[in-house]
Chain A
């Protein structure tokens, strides 16, 4: 029942976004202009942390508490508490908060809006948070030309506290154009209780993981060890295995080579598992998935997934009981070293080039990424591992204490953050819908992943060319 309601809400939100774009963007703004006391009272700790934060964040940014004036920020629902808390802690800044549907499935809300603002020559917000990690790439280029130099805004003393892999991802043509709110390395999520019950040991390589999948299919049919039905499944399996689906991005050239061994070997590894049902082509965010594998059924034995899966997927979406889930280190391909992993998400903050209040904009981003709520639990919890080092440390400390997990999940997450393969470059076009509509639809129809790889390569190349890239496929 609750599940149905959730689906209903999600679908309704989608409908609102489509049917009533203008009204849905305006009303939250006006209602959130003056943050309610509820928002600020639940945010006691960050508000008090503000003072300490400004010292830890480093005065190098030059954007202390002296920010004032008007500031318009666009955030997704998950970042709303953050924006409200900032407004409460900074009475001199008149913060205008707008929420929007920044989902990761190739939504065009931001493209649409920025095009319109550019055409109108006004209306740009000062700061945007996007759930789509590739957004800054097009925002930094023509015809959008929206993203300001984030390195200059925050100062190198602050930005050096982000992992190099994260900064590389936000660098477009040599300029840092965004800063990641959180990091989302892929780890192996494990149901410790079931593993012990079945007498399995946690695999450390993809091969062991696949062998266990064959065993599970025979001995415990119905249980699963992963999924391939997400729009971002290739970011989990192929990014981690260094498959060049979007590599060597230089200016307007991109390498897409699905025939690379790193791609074909992963597809061959997954095929028997997709066939025997242990890695179904179903998204964890669909009601069908929750019904089949979640809640009381508790059929998720393992799942390679991003750091934010922790509670967003297992606790909130699938209702897996407390004391069962924990994370293990990213899987290794055979004896290949060093181990590399993929990343899913890790939304970036972007400051507008057209901001009339760049000082407050920088102050807001600084506060959101370095001060706001290092607590991984509670109503205004940060769902993901903060990108800013010092904040990550306190977030991980809180996570380690969390009773929801069967064992401390933080060592694996912490290690994985530095193992994200840097060869995967972000591009201006959305690649995730291509995976969904060429691969997932094919898998659902019973085709093998290996047989769908050429179609994936073709679809990605077409999307790349349509976005103005030249494609190298060898």
Chain B
């Protein structure tokens, strides 16, 4: 009778003993790396999640009430629009993130060392601004009165700040802000991933007559697939939890952008303006589920955790 792990390794054609020894060594070393993080994960990740789950299924008196909080939050007139906003935003943002980050990383990786590292640094700089600070910079960028890119704003038909932040523009504006603050970091990560591709593979491809484009698309891209999946999972979760950008624009626009623009803001408002902590928890559980489902789909489709050794 074989253990499941041994079955898997047998199928992959590896001697069971060798695989077990390898895994045992790896996890022993891994524990050392994981332990310092564990208390933080429990205190700031797992416990709040359990608290949110309990709140979401109970009344404010602590009685179990099934899905009532979910239906009540779902019937709120702001629930639909806020999720629509967030999904449109996430779609725009993830789309640009995947295309541009992967594209730029591939282009950079094809360049000589000096130019590549200079550009990597340049791309990374906007990411050094913390979330709120970058939104402030963008508030100025979007104001035709003070923006260095006024001519661009005029091209898009915006002559006043209030026109720049018209409701239809917002998902794109927030996506743009998030892209510029987040893209640099991911370009560096993907560049690192590209560096793990063995040099001889690339050489072999070149000898076989593949040009830079073919090497990038047919060799490098499939080999960094898992890193891209990893980026998409994390970015999807961050995207659906959008809060700081619309919250600041709400205040800067003197209320023209609703304070419940995103679903996370709605949860915040429900909790703190209306005192409905349980409904707010229900929305955060909704967001957790959406993030989990997306992650499961991406993991199974891309084989993120499949070991190919």
Contacts and interface: CB of A to CB of B under 8 A. Distances in A.
Interface of A: 4, 7, 11-12, 14-15, 17-19, 103, 105-108, 111-112, 115, 143-144, 229-231, 281-283, 285-288, 291, 432-433, 435-437, 440-441, 444-445, 462, 465-467
B202 interface: no
B23 interface: no
A76 to B, nearest CB: 15
A111 B268 CA distance: 11
A115 B167 CA distance: 31
A106 B272 contact: no
7 contacts: A18-B247, A115-B271, A230-B254, A433-B255, A437-B167, A437-B256, A441-B167
Interface in B201-235: none
A107 B274 contact: no
Interface class of chain A by DSSP: helix
A436 B76 CA distance: 20
Contacts, number: 104
A319 to B, nearest CB: 16
B74 to A, nearest CB: 13
B162 A282 contact: yes
A17 B77 CA distance: 27
B199 to A, nearest CB: 45
Contacts of A143: 275
B241 interface: no
A469 to B, nearest CB: 12
A106 to B, nearest CB: 6
A105 B196 CA distance: 52
A107 B254 CA distance: 10
Nearest to B276: A143
For B133, B252, B255, B257, the residue with the greatest tally of chain A CB atoms inside 10 Å of its CB is B255
A15 B166 contact: no
Interface of B: 76-78, 130-133, 135-136, 139, 143-146, 160-163, 166-167, 244, 247-248, 251-259, 268-269, 271-275
A7 B146 CA distance: 10
A175 B280 CA distance: 32
B254 A111 contact: no
Given A11-B252, A229-B162, A466-B76, A288 B145 contact: yes
B162 A440 contact: yes
Given A111-B273, A440-B162, A444-B162, A285 B255 contact: no
Nearest to A118: B275
A19 B132 contact: yes
For B132, B136, B162, the residue with the greatest tally of chain A CB atoms inside 10 Å of its CB is B162
Given A11-B139, A108-B269, A441-B162, 16 more contacts: A11-B136, A12-B136, A15-B132, A15-B248, A18-B248, A105-B254, A105-B255, A106-B259, A115-B271, A144-B275, A286-B160, A286-B254, A288-B145, A288-B162, A437-B167, A444-B163
A11 B135 CA distance: 10
Contacts of B259: 106, 108, 433
Nearest to B268: A108
A108 B136 contact: no
Contacts of A291: 145
A467 B274 contact: yes
A291 to B, nearest CB: 6
A464 to B, nearest CB: 11
A436 B78 CA distance: 16
Contacts of B273: 108, 111-112
Contacts of B271: 115
Contact of A287 (B136, B161, B248): B161
Nearest to B251: A14
Contact of B254 (A18, A115, A436, A445): A436
Contact of B272 (A115, A230, A282): A115
